[in-house]
Structure formats: C-alpha cells, structure tokens
Amino acid sequence: MAKKRNVYLNMQHLAEARRILFERFSSGGRWDAEAIAVLDSVGRITAAPVYARFSSPHFHAAAMDGIAVKAELTFGATPRTPKTLRTDRDTFYVNTGHVLPPGTDAVIKIEQVTDIGNHQLQIEAPAFPWQYVRRMGEDIVATELLFPSNHCITPYCLGALISGGVFQLAVRPKPRVLIIPTGSELVDWRTQSPTALAPGQVLESNAYVLGKLAEAIGCEYVHHATITDDATQIEAAVARGIRDDFDTVLICGGSSAGSHDYARQVIESLGDVLVHGVTMMPGKPVIIGAVKDRPVFGIPGYPVSAIMAYEQFVQPYLTALLGRPEPRRTRIDVRPTRKIASKLGLEEFIRVKLGRVGDQVVATSLPRGAGSITSLTQAHGIIRVPPNVDGLSGETPVPAELLGPLDAVDNTIVAVGSHDNTLDVLADLVKLRAGHVTLSSSHVGSMGGLMAVKKGGCHLAGTHLLDTTDGTYNKSYVQRLLPDLDVKLIHLVQREQGLIVPPGNPKNITGIEDLKRDDVRFINRQTGSGTRILLDYRLTQAGITADVVNGYSTEEFTHMAVAVAVLSGTVDVGLGIYAAAKALGLDFVPVVTEQYDLVIPSQYLDLKIIQILLTTIGSETFKQRVADLGGYSTAMTGQAV
C-alpha cells in the first residue's frame, strides 16, 4: 500500500461524531445469551428477566429466640393480670430461624417470659398474630421477578438468586475487543529487554491500558502482537479480527496525518471511514470506521489521547452492547488557581489536581501534553472547556468531573510552590501514616506559591527565596507579599544548590562564571522560582548579564527536569539541587546551601490533614529518608522560623 499523508477532512464536533457512531451501529453487536453458574455471574449483565423458583423463606420461621404460641391464647395479659401458659400444651420453645410449630402464629421473646415451674410460663403482655415471625415468602415469593434484563449482577444479588433457587442464569456475552498496537518505534517489554532503549524507541503500554479499561466494564480483550508501520500487515490483522467475530477492533497508533499513519488507509480499504478527526483535545486524530457490521477505531498513539478517544467513543459503544448505562462521573464546582488558556473551536479536557481549601475546592491544572500519562495518574478530576470558550479566568467556579471519590478531594493537602525532592518523600510517608490522606504538590516556583497562598488557593507553599540584601531566606518575602495574612513559616530542609553537569564534568565547569562561555549550553528555571532568583543574584555578583548566557531563556519547572536535560545531552549545565544530580548519576558543583521552608496559613494549622503532615515532618523516618537522598540537612526540620 502506497504511503501518503492523511488530511483531516470535515472534522466533527464530539457530539456529532458520537451521533454518527451510534446511528451506524445502533443495533449492532451480540444480543444472544449464554448460561453461566450463579457464582460466576457477578459483574455480568442479565440477558433475560430472572424469576425466583423458590420462596424465601419457604416456611414460617421464628424471628426471635423465645416461645411460639397461638396469639389468641395471650390476649388479656397485663402486668396486673398475667397469663399462665403451659409448656407441655400451649407453647413451644424456639430459636431464631426455627420452623414455627403447627397451630402457632406468634413468638414471644424469651426475655418477656417468666418460668414459674411445673411446666408453666407467665407473660405480662399479649402477642399479636405473626409477631416476631418471618412468614413464608416474606422476602421472595416463587415466580416473582428478581432482576430484569440488562441488570448488572452484584455480590449482593447472589444472596437473592441463591435464596430464590436460581443457580444458573442467562447473561449477555462479554463483548470481544481486538487491540492492535502499531508502530515501528514500539518495544514490547514482555519479549524484548527494555533496559537499553535506543533513541526513538517507546515501550508499548496503550494496548494494555485500553484492554484493562475494557475489562473493567465487562469485556474481554485480545492483545495482538505489535505490528510495525506496515499497512499490509495492519490490514491483514484487522481483516482477521473481523473474520474472527470480534465485536470491535482498535488500531492503536497511526491515526494521525503522518506519512506512516496507516489506520485510515486500512479502514478505507476494508470498509468505510465515518469520522477522521474530532474537535477535542487530547484525542483529535481519532478515527471511527465501519468494516462489514463492526466498528473499527483508529486510536491516537499518545497515551492521554488514546484514553480520551476510548472514553468518548469506544466505551460508550461497548456499554451499549452490554445493555448497561455509560458510566457517569460525579461533578462538582471548582475554582482554578490561575487562568487556563484554551483553543477556540476545540473542546479541551484539562486534567487537574483538586483539594478543598477553606470553603472551596481549588483546581490546579497539570501538564496538558497528550503524551503525559502522569497527567491522568496524578489528576483528581477533568475540567471540560467548551469549544466556544477561549479559556477560564480563574475567578469563576467551573464544573469538574471527578476521577475518584469526593472523600479523596476532601483529604488532599494542596501544596503549591517550589519543587523539592523531599516533597515526594513526604507524600509517601503521609500516605503510609494515614492512608486516606494525600499530599498533592504543584510546581510553580516560590513566588507562585506565595501568590497561591495569598489567593487562598492552597494549604501551604514551598519556598526558598533569597533576600539579596542580607542573605536570609523567605521571611522578608512573606512579610512583604502577605502582610495581612497570619501564616507560620515551618522549616523543612537545608539543601545544597549548585551546578548539575554530566558525569566527569566534560566541560570542566567550576562555577557561575563559566555560564558566559560560548561552548556552554545552560538550562534555566522559570521566572519567580527561588532558583531563578539565586541565579540572577550570582550572575550580578559575577558581573554577567543574562544575554550572554546561552540558554538563559530556556526554562524548566523542576530540579529533576533540569537534571534530565543535562542527562540527555540537551544542555551542558543547569542550576539545581544535589539530590536531583545524585538521583540521575550526574556530577555536581556546589554553589550555596539554602533554606527551604513551608508557608502555612494559621487558619489551616488545626486541620487534621495538616497535623498529620507536621507530625510526619517531625518524624525520624522522614529525616532519615531525606538524609538518604543526599545534599540535605535536617538539623532544623520541623521548627517554626
């Protein structure tokens, strides 16, 4: 098949693309049934109504420990005129669940009966008919409907099914999904050692993620062996999947507009392309096609795009096949911590971290790249920005779809500010100490953190801002920027800040002065970060202007990102902490020992989640874990500054 570059023609809005899908496949799929044992039915969907074969209970049963009587024999009993009954004629001792003896229709609790001897019992209150009795069919009556068609069987349902004498039932077959990963760059970690990936190679994960998502809603999936960028092989695999009676086929990768993207060509050669391109981001390159009577989807290669395409199109189709409703996420109103830009004409799915700060839930946006799978693993929710909106102001609450329970949002400590590796240690230990509490940190720099505190957008901010007039850290900035806010400054760590260089320091970089060299490529931190302020101060001391530093305007948002840039060879040097250099096996040229503190508004200090955080900071376990990172001092950790 000849190579050619695809063009997105007649891109569809999300709602229209879904309409096209369901109009073409409104009655497709398998609607037959399979019989399975009741114990295997949890999570399956009933294909027919389920009726009880037995009544439950199938006899009149005592509901209390006591005596069974005929109610009319007890009428007239009072504390002043008790009734006497004989155990050898009028009453029968019974335990809970016992068959009610013939001729009786009530049970009197044992604690309301006095044994006066000589086979005689005394009661001081009458029983009414069917008192403390589970009557035959009280729970289930034979022939009654237990569950209708299209009902999802839960563990609770098993009790009703078994009690009603249903030991086998008809359920819908699990839809079968064939997932075909494609791409010459893909490496299958199961068959090829991933320890030495060549540049351009990528570990294949999308097919596993999509397969498990399909399993989670009740489907079966088959993971096809990875196929290189070969249209003939891809076409053969899709055709074989249709012949093998899969309910749908997913071609992972190759749905975009590149010259080696073959999904569209393959679908066109076997059937019809219904949609190529949807005005959504991530997920724009998705393809919806029809081969014979089955949908074939072209799924984008970037992980987040793949998941969004699956959730918006594949999952709704599969749930319809199963006869169950499409999963709906809980929605709550949240306030973005800062402005969020958006592209007109595209519906954007913004992944956000959430936390309840004061009386509002705040949302901090995560990286929006379609290849950032961690933007989903770290996200608490998704904000959907309509295509007719060019962004969110950050001042007005907007709805967010929760990716987990609301409790998780309420038990999240929201940290915004400077990045430090000890925050990862702290997050792990907080989770170990209190499994329901999460520390969620967003890295926007020290100044950004203080602004978030000022706006009520977080519980705490990490900061390491150098006062160049006296060499102190943080206090003067807090006093100047938060003059009307009562806060506590809690010391976290002292840390070594310096120049991160490749192993062996091939450019022989010895200090800040070397940044002006023509042969040295530098990577900077973002404006407002403490590291940026430190750099500018040291450049001024050295008489170096920013315009002579090769890479001064190239920015990263974390110390680890700076270290990765050095490791990859993109740059020769970056300013960062020793722990980041050590973690990636890089060399380090010390520049300064600096103070990293947490700024916490006093109004949050008594919150249980903040108390858990502070207790964790003061623990010896935290201090030891920090020491193991290297480049830190915990001599004053946990102290109020």
Written as one string, the DSSP assignment of 609-635 is HHHHHHHHHTSHHHHHHHHHHSSEE-T
Integer Cα distance of 548 and 480 in angstroms: 32
Question: Structure tokens of 401?
Answer: 């779809």
Question: Structure tokens of 84?
Answer: 């006497």
Output the CA–CA distances (angstroms, integers) from residue 272 to 102, 512, 542, in the order listed.
73, 62, 67
Query: In this structure, are residues 292 and 239 in contact, taking their beta carbons and an 8 Å threshold?
Result: no
Kindly tell me the sign of the dihedral angle through the C-alpha atoms of 594, 600, 605, 611. negative
Query: CB count, 10 Å around CB of 238?
Result: 27
H-state helical runs in 378-462: 406-410, 422-433, 446-454
Integer Cα distance of 555 and 297 in angstroms: 38
- Whether omega for the bond prior to residue 601 falls within 30 degrees of 0, making it cis, is no
Query: CB count, 10 Å around CB of 241?
Result: 25
In this predicted structure, what is the pLDDT of residue 18? 95
- Cβ neighbours of residue 308 under 8 Å, at least 6 residues apart? 280, 282, 283, 349
- Whether omega for the bond prior to residue 173 falls within 30 degrees of 0, making it cis, is no
Decide: helix, strand or coil at residue 34: strand
* Amino acid (one-letter) located at 196: A
Tokens 């306030």 identify what position? 335
Domains and CATH numbers, the chain: 14-28+175-193+200-322 (3.40.980.10), 34-57+138-171 (3.90.105.10), 61-134 (2.170.190.11), 330-403 (2.40.340.10), 452-633 (3.40.190.10)
Query: In this structure, are residues 481 and 631 in contact, taking their beta carbons and an 8 Å threshold?
Result: no
Integer Cα distance of 124 and 79 in angstroms: 5
In this predicted structure, what is the pLDDT of residue 546? 95
Q: Which residues of the chain have pLDDT under 50?
A: 28-29
In this predicted structure, what is the pLDDT of residue 29? 45
Tokens 């990263």 identify what position? 556
Integer Cα distance of 286 and 309 in angstroms: 6
Q: What is the DSSP letter of 311?
A: I
Q: What is the DSSP letter of 149?
A: T
Question: Structure tokens of 442?
Answer: 């967003």
Output the CA–CA distances (angstroms, integers) from residue 58 to 54, 98, 134, 162, in the order listed.
7, 12, 10, 13
Task: Kindly report, residue by residue over 225-267, the tens digit of the pLDDT.
Answer: 999 999 999 999 999 999 999 999 999 998 776 667 899 999 9
DSSP notation for 483-519: TTS-EEEEEEEEEEEEEEE-TT-TT---SGGGGG-TT
Output the CA–CA distances (angstroms, integers) from residue 621 to 305, 426, 427, in the order listed.
40, 10, 13
Question: Structure tokens of 184?
Answer: 């010459």
- Cβ neighbours of residue 415 under 8 Å, at least 6 residues apart? 423, 439, 440, 441, 442, 449, 458, 459, 460, 461, 462, 598
Helix axes 422-433, 620-629, angle to 10 degrees: 150
In this predicted structure, what is the pLDDT of residue 252? 96
Query: In this structure, are residues 403 and 332 in contact, taking their beta carbons and an 8 Å threshold?
Result: no
- Beta pairing class for 280-281 and 331-336: unpaired
Integer Cα distance of 69 and 129 in angstroms: 9
The pTM of the full predicted model, rounded to 2 decimals, is: 0.85
Decide: helix, strand or coil at residue 72: helix
Query: In this structure, are residues 423 and 441 in contact, taking their beta carbons and an 8 Å threshold?
Result: yes
Question: Structure tokens of 353?
Answer: 């971290």
User: Max alpha carbon distance in the chain (Å)?
Assistant: 113
Decide: helix, strand or coil at residue 444: coil
Closest CA to 446 of 468, 467, 461: 461
Integer Cα distance of 453 and 460 in angstroms: 7
Query: In this structure, are residues 338 and 445 in contact, taking their beta carbons and an 8 Å threshold?
Result: no
Residue 23: phi, psi to the nearest 5?
Answer: -70, -40
Task: Kindly report, residue by residue over 123-147, the tens digit of the pLDDT.
Answer: 999 999 999 999 999 999 999 999 9
